[in-house]
Amino acid sequence: MDLNSRKFKILQAIIDDYILYGIPVGSRTISKKYNMGLSSATIRNEMSDLEELGYLEQPHVSAGRIPSVKAYRLYVDSLIKSGVLEGTSSLNLQSYFNKHIKHIEDILSHATQVLSELTNYTALAILPKDTSEKIRNLKIIPVTKDTALLILVMQSGSVYNKVIRINSGLSVDTLNHISNLLTESLSNKNIDEVSGVLFDLIKDLNSNRDFLIKLSDSIKYMVNYENHNKLTLGGTSNIFNYPEYASVEKAKSILTLLDTQDELVELLKQYGEMQFTVKIGPENGIIGLDDCSIITATYSTPTNARGTIGIIGPTRMPYKHIIQILNNVSYELTNLFDDN
Amino acid sequence: MDLNSRKFKILQAIIDDYILYGIPVGSRTISKKYNMGLSSATIRNEMSDLEELGYLEQPHVSAGRIPSVKAYRLYVDSLIKSGVLEGTSSLNLQSYFNKHIKHIEDILSHATQVLSELTNYTALAILPKDTSEKIRNLKIIPVTKDTALLILVMQSGSVYNKVIRINSGLSVDTLNHISNLLTESLSNKNIDEVSGVLFDLIKDLNSNRDFLIKLSDSIKYMVNYENHNKLTLGGTSNIFNYPEYASVEKAKSILTLLDTQDELVELLKQYGEMQFTVKIGPENGIIGLDDCSIITATYSTPTNARGTIGIIGPTRMPYKHIIQILNNVSYELTNLFDDN
DNA sequence: TGTTAGCACTCAATAGCAGTGATTGCTAAT
DNA sequence: ATTAGCAATCACTGCTATTGAGTGCTAACA
């Protein structure tokens, strides 16, 4: 027994119906609504086979059947193979943004907002992390007697800042001097080059050794960790639109996850390797998220750094529709950055 | 008929019991558990009076009674009068923070986290807004041909940054020049003085007029609006700990509110006028938030700018406990800033 | 006059139960 | 290979009876 074309058609009909109504689908429904030219009894036999093959599940014996994760997976794979990811964007994301020039953080926050409105699911995204991005400018501004502010501006316009402790022996002029020296020697260098450059500088200067080492660490820390462990969220409360999360425990578990962020950030980072991912139910690997699907796409900045944007929702999800929207949004997002 | 001391004692017992268990309280419960030395019948009579006075409500005739907003208000007022706000903090917030020097944003975010864990409610806070805060440093860094980054550092170490459009006629050197000039003339000035200083500068320079005006607007915008319209949240999913929000619509409405932020930000700003506020149920004035209480306290930074931190939860709330915790947290928070 | 015991009454909540209907699996006929 | 027919299953619905926590009222009591 294998999955012939008739079985596939029936399975598809069941998935479509279940996605639409969210209640178990019976043989009679398929026979009548999806005019297959087959009686309910025949469908019944096929459904029994499909269950044996692992594509369908039965909540209880007198209920209809619901698609399994395996079925969704088949469905999504065939969708993607059929070219749902192609086609130009009918969406003009640009029009959703006002004309102010914005930071990437603002753009992304806005994009998740838009995405959540378009899909009615919760949207989530992470900022791109670009180790090859070049430093543009560096400045050390004294704040108190023994603290200063380290400000780092990247070529893309990203700004990082961090309070650092300074040796009280360092005068404002010295700091200014170091600041200028560093801007000069670090500009157009990327993060991986910082250590090397500072090492050379230490040799030349032969003073302020500890301070420069600490600076180097701070710079690396800022660029590598700050911002890149933070989820951008949109439409958090959309979760409640679905009967799957009508029970408070379910909703709580997912909202706690969104609150905690860490696990999801890791997931998105991981997914960022792929242009497009669809993780159905337990495929995402997070315990307690077995009945959620996560769909992600990557977007890129002009410097070719890649971030991830996606949505999270119940396993029962109009995959085709959502995939198209997400595809468009990530495409438009990339465009938007190019223009800016 | 007025609220004599016995009635008050009974009312207090009812409130205590209801806060603890969340189910309507009957006369027998009070008579037995709170050994008043009175029979249930007597309590019954008193409860009937209390209902007439507006302190109690009956969900239905054969249920017990629950405290009204008026009752909670009386209870909280008497708590505050009895000096619950005094007494030193037994809490050492400092120990919750690691030893890294942090930005105020990080500290506040951490503080809401701690507060939500201590109270089991959702904590919310806004950053202080200090119009008297002085500018320390200003820098304009070109990013693309026609955009630049405006970076503003305040005396407190707060950093604002914004992408601005520049006239392509402006060279890097000119920008640098303007940047230095502005740092010189604006440092130690507060926001209200920016317009005046720039006006004088325009007269002297007699060029780049439009650019300087735009800069002045940008500066004012950054300091006045950025950051100050953003809620810092902690323990969002704590809402689900309470049977009051077991229904999904309830939970959804409050989470949507937290999502939207605007209304709550306005509220907190307004409450910032007071050292301490307890708004019970409809007293907060937000529609759809009739059955939530909001308790806030102000904290202050070394420059005497005041921010607001608080919690939001169901009307049934252990006010005494929460007020004490919040009082301690705001006190410790203020201390923390002083040390830093 | 305030307090209390007693009692009838109310009503939400719960449990039990029968009926309904959607759906299945199996069998026998086509 | 397909289908009609049928018994069996079982969640769901709606009805009824029961329970029990609670009230208000009245009459007796200190």
* Mean pLDDT value of segment A215-232: 87
Contact between A1 and A53 (Cβ < 8 Å): yes
pLDDT, residue A77, reads 95
Q: Which CATH architecture has domain A93-129+229-339?
A: 2-Layer Sandwich (3.30)
The answer, yes or no, to whether residue A217 has pLDDT greater than 60, is yes
Residue of B161, B163, B240 lying closest to A248 (CB–CB): B240
- Tell me if A143 and B157 make a contact (CB, 8 A cut-off): yes
Higher pLDDT, B84 or A308: A308
Percent of chain A residues past pLDDT 90, beyond the cut: 51
Does residue A284 have a pLDDT over 90?
yes
Q: Which of residues 296-325 of A touch B (CB under 8 A)?
A: none
Helix, strand, coil percentages for chain A (3-state, nearest 5)? 50, 20, 30
**Ranges of chain B whose pLDDT falls below 70:** 87-91, 93, 97-101, 205-207, 339-340
Taking the C1' atom of every nucleotide in all shown strands and the CA of B41, the nearest one is C4
Nearest-angstrom CA–CA distance, A191 and A307: 18
pLDDT tens digits for A87-115?
666 667 677 766 566 788 888 999 999 99
* pLDDT beyond 60 at A245: yes
Q: Do B102 and A163 touch (CB under 8 A)?
A: yes
Q: Which CATH number fits domain B5-67: 1.10.540.10, 3.40.50.970, 1.10.10.10, 3.10.20.740?
A: 1.10.10.10
**CA–CA distance from B228 to each of A112, A302, B223, B232, B286 (Å)?**
22, 31, 8, 10, 20
> What distance in Å separates the CA atoms of residue A310 and residue A231, rounded to the nearest whole number?
11
Residue B240, chain A, CB below 8 Å: the answer is: yes
As beta bridge partners, residue A160 has A152
CA A23 – C1' C29 distance (Å)?
34
Question: Helices A104-119 and A319-339: crossing angle, nearest 10°?
Answer: 160
Residue A49 neighbours by CB distance under 10 Å: 17
The yes-or-no verdict on residue A165 having pLDDT over 70 is yes
Which residue of A163, A218, A232 is the best one to mutate when testing the B interface, meaning the one whose CB has the most B CBs within 10 A?
A163
Nearest CA in chain A to B257: A237
CB contacts, 8 Å: A246 with chain B: 248
pLDDT average, residue stretch A224-250: 86
Q: What backbone phi and psi angles, to 5 degrees, belong to A183?
A: -55, -45
Q: Determine the pLDDT at residue B100.
A: 65
Chain D positions with any atom < 7 A from a protein CB: 2-5, 8-11, 20-26
Q: Tokens 């409860």 belong to which residue?
A: B47
**What are the residue boundaries of the structural domains of chain A, listed by start?**
5-67, 93-129+229-339, 135-225
Phi/psi of residue B248, nearest 5 degrees:
-65, -35
List the B159-165 sheet strands across, edge first.
B135-142, B147-154, B159-165
Q: CB contact, 8 Å: B231 with chain A? A: no
- How high is the mean pLDDT of chain A? 89
Give pLDDT, residue B38: 94
pLDDT at B90: 67
Q: Count Cβ neighbours within 10 Å for each residue of B51-89 and write b for 16 or more, e otherwise.
A: eebebbeeeeeeebbbbbbebbbbbbeebeeeebbeeee
Of all protein residues, which has its CA closest to the C1' atom of C11? B62
Predicted confidence band at A337 (pLDDT cuts at 50, 70, 90)? confident
More reliable by pLDDT, A130 or B15: B15
Is B153–A151 a contact, with Cβ atoms under 8 angstroms apart?
yes
Assign domain A135-225 one CATH number from 3.40.50.740, 3.40.50.150, 3.30.390.60, 3.40.1410.10: 3.30.390.60
Distance from CA of B90 to the nearest CA of A (A): 28
pLDDT top residue among A200 and B121: B121
Q: Residue A248 pLDDT more than 80?
A: no
The verdict on a CB contact (< 8 Å) between B165 and A101 is yes
Q: What is the DSSP letter of B207?
A: S
- Residue B139 forms contact with A (CB below 8 Å): yes
pLDDT at residue A112, as a whole number: 95
User: pLDDT value at position A90?
Assistant: 67
Distances (CA, A) of B258 to A236, B141, B293: 10, 36, 14
H helices of B159-261, in order, are: 172-186, 191-205, 209-225, 248-260
**Other CB atoms within 10 A of residue A338 CB:** 10
**CA-based radius of gyration for chain A:** 26
Taking one residue from A and the other from B, the number of pairs with CB-CB distance under 8 angstroms is 86
Instruction: Kindly identify which residue of chain A lies nearest to residue B234, measuring between CA atoms.
Output: A259
Q: Tokens 């992470």, residue?
A: A126
Backbone angles phi, psi at A289, to 5 degrees: -120, 30
Q: Is the dihedral of CA A143, A149, A155, A156 positive or negative?
A: negative
Residue B282: its pLDDT value, please?
95
CATH match of B93-129+228-339 with 3.40.720.10: no
Residue A24, CB, strand C, below 7 Å: yes
Judge whether A121 and A313 are in contact, CB under 8 Å.
yes
Of A128-137, A265-274, A322-331, B183-192, the range with the lowest mean pLDDT is A128-137
pLDDT of residue B89: 64
What is the per-residue pLDDT for B250?
Answer: 83
Cα–Cα distance between A155 and A190 in angstroms, integer?
Answer: 10
CA of A292 to C1' of C13 (A): 35
Handedness of CA B317, B319, B322, B323 (dihedral sign): positive
Task: Determine which of A103, A143, A144, A336 to mutate to test the interface with B (most B C-beta atoms within 10 Å).
Answer: A143
CB contact under 8 A, B251 and A256: no
Return d(Cα B179, Cα B148) in angstroms, integer: 11
Phi, psi values for residue A276, rounded to 5°: -155, 130
> Which residues, listed in sequence order, are joined to residue A294 by a DSSP beta bridge?
A279, A312
Q: Is the Cβ atom of A60 within 7 Å of strand C at any atom?
A: no
